Chain A
Amino acid sequence: MAHGPATLADGWRAYISRWVFTTNHKDIGTLYLWFSFAMFLMGGAFAMVIRAELFQPGMQLIRPEFFNQMTTMHGLVMVFGAIMPAFVGLANWMIPLMIGAPDMALPRMNNLSFWILPFAFAILTSTLFMEGGGPNFGWTFYAPLSTTYAPESVNFFIFAIHIMGASSIMGSINIIATVMNMRAPGMTYMKMPLFVWTWVITAFLLVAVMPVLAGAVTMMLMDINFGTSFFDAAGGGDPVLFQHVFWFFGHPEVYIIILPAFGVVSQIIPTFSRKPLFGYSSMVYATAAIAFLSFVVWAHHMFTVGMPIAGELYFMYATMLIAVPTGVKVFNWITTMYKGSLTFETPMLFSIAFVILFTFGGFTGLMLSIAAADMQYHDTYFVVAHFHYVMVAGAVFSGTAAIYYWLPKWCGKMYNETMGQVQFWVAFIGFNIAFMPQHFLGLAGMPRRYADYGLQFADWNMVSSIGAFIYGGAQIMLLYNVIATIRNGKPTTEEKTWEGAEGLEWTVPSPAPYHTFAKPPEFK
């Protein structure tokens, strides 16, 4: 094994051992990426069930109880199983390569933080087959829906969340330690690639708020099983407390999802503009500002709980303030492209779509931040449309861009550009057909999380479902493109796959050898 990783030629036992016991950052990154893609397909399948049921008014395919489980599981699996592990996978693969480190700082912990994840999701998914069904209280699991009125399987859900939290915290500590201690000589903090910067800040956010989520589910566990009354008014508790604790985690969580996506796009846009990133230091400070502000705006998710007017105004203005650093980033990306020598390969297409659609989602976020208007928008499809624009067109598009961008470096094969671009357009058009109409539905008053709807919403729901199926198909195309590239892609050995690319990851051969930077590289 000292000479390299075991392959199938060494026998399947050696091959399986390699993956189970690996401490190599590239192996673990690969595991994270494949795992998150599997979860992405599973969460996507749940979404297809939801959209199929909503294709027409009335109950067609599934029972309302199961519909509730589908919306809940779709949210949980996509957030904790698909997006977060995907970016941890990218971090594992790319951070050591970008900062010139031979591996992550804590390789064994890295192995552990990945290998507990499949168990967490096996537990979570198994609840669907239990008596009483899986979690049906929405991915935000508000008490008392998730305590007093929860299905029996809620304890499995809580345990799964605990494991996911532990995995995230370990992964984050690893990233922090790697970036703090293992940068190549000469790479000061302000010379790190932006992807590394956004991930360090994300890692700090994770260490700060995943324990709060663990605390929230622990309090639920105690309310359900041990007779406490954190969230039960009968015993002197308060269900609104749950919402505060949850969103104290939940708001930073949405930035945990989007900041690494910002980082990816900040790597890709300069490459295909053939210009350095505009406003590097303002990007770093904007990211830090967003991370800081994320801790002081949580109650904008709960304008309708009956807050005093002073609270509503504070959370409204503080939320709007986030638009400032976010705007700085958007303008920096646009300015990077300005007068650049642009080409539009697949990663760039996804990145530009990211900038446009994420900004769109940011604007609907601003609309939602207006406390008075939120009374109307709250819990409607407008909210659903908003967060799918920022999470799907934001995080998922940027993750897809990252796959196309770094795939040649990972496997030494070039994807088929035509297929990549076709996949982009199918995804882009499908996404917009699926989610644009949901704005109209929400503004017209269609509430989220119901298995049925009034007849007046029928047309746009059908359009939305058709778009969702197209978008789902685009993900199968992505899977096909990746597998086709790995199996039959045109081999590429160039160190620098993209002519405009900068950074240490483009100084190692393609495919990246199993061990890189055994000696720290020279960094200018």
Chain B
Amino acid sequence: MSADASNRRVVVKSLFGAAGMFAFAIFILPPMYDLFCEITGLGGKTGDAYTAVDVRVDTSREVRVRFVASNNASMPWIFKPEKDSVVVHPGEPTEITYFAHNITDEDMVSQAIPSLVPNNVADYFHKTECFCFENQPLAAGDQADLKLIFIIDPDLPEGVNSVTLSYTIFDITDRAADPIAQL
């Protein structure tokens, strides 16, 4: 094989490898990261909407669920849960509302991002209905009660008697034009 041909082979292989690593970084690493977090419950991301199944309510056990609300960076809304915490039995659907008030004089859209602590219980915290599944448009000065219905799975690991659910509300007005149009 001539020197040119073997050089060409090295170049082609290396460029192929480099392109592969670029694709790996953009197309494979982020989904892999999400999948990893979903499997392990790391990052406290809770699952999507849950269809309630008929399960017994474990009245022998009580779990305190605490609610935390925070605003991301410069998000000006008032955002808070109706109560700081509730005590529930595993298996029993519980409704709670968060209060949101757009205090600005502009129409805005928000998105709430959940996070659950301790993170190994993310799989046992089910939400049948949640404002966080969709973005929340609010016209200037409007306020709303945002509904959340959750069920703690009766299989919740022993020893966990307190769960903290945190929502951070983000301003996504810039990237969500449609909901504003519907206001």
**A interface residue numbers (CB < 8 A to B):** 105-106, 109, 148, 169, 172-173, 176-177, 180-182, 207-212, 214-216, 218-219, 227, 230, 233-238, 240-241, 244-245, 248, 307-308
Contacts and interface: CB of A to CB of B under 8 A. Distances in A.
Contact of A215 (B17, B26, B72): B26
B10 A218 contact: no
A74 B170 CA distance: 34
A233 B25 contact: no
Contacts of A209: 21
B15 A173 contact: yes
A91 to B, nearest CB: 15
A270 to B, nearest CB: 30
B21 A176 contact: no
Q: Which of A176, A215, A219, A248 has the most chain B CB atoms inside 10 A of its CB?
A: A215
Given A177-B10, A308-B40, A212 B15 contact: no
A238 B168 CA distance: 13
B22 A214 contact: yes
Contact of A105 (B7, B42, B72, B170): B7
A177 B34 CA distance: 38
B179 to A, nearest CB: 14
A238 B22 contact: no
A173 B111 CA distance: 46
Contact of B42 (A177, A219, A308): A308
Given A234-B171, A241-B30, A241-B33, A207 B25 contact: no
Nearest to A213: B25
A233 B170 contact: yes
Secondary structure at the A interface, as helix, strand, loop or mixed, is helix
B175 interface: yes
B18 interface: yes
Contact of A169 (B18, B25, B26, B40): B18
B33 A208 contact: no
A215 B22 contact: yes
Nearest to B20: A211
B160 to A, nearest CB: 16
A211 B170 CA distance: 32
Interface residues of B, number: 35
A158 to B, nearest CB: 14
B166 to A, nearest CB: 12
A234 B72 contact: yes
B140 interface: no
A209 B29 CA distance: 13
10 contacts: A181-B7, A215-B25, A227-B175, A234-B172, A238-B33, A241-B30, A244-B33, A245-B25, A307-B42, A308-B119
Nearest to B2: A181
Nearest to A203: B14
Contact of B14 (A176, A181, A244): A176
Contacts of A235: 111, 172, 175
Nearest to A249: B25
B81 interface: no
A364 to B, nearest CB: 29
A211 B30 contact: no
A181 B11 CA distance: 12
B113 A234 contact: yes
A103 to B, nearest CB: 11
Q: Which of B19, B24, B119 has the most CB of A within 10 A?
A: B24
A312 to B, nearest CB: 12
A422 B119 CA distance: 59
Contacts of B22: 211-212, 214-215, 218
B10 A173 contact: yes
A212 B25 contact: yes
B53 interface: no
B30 A208 contact: no
Contacts of B111: 234-235
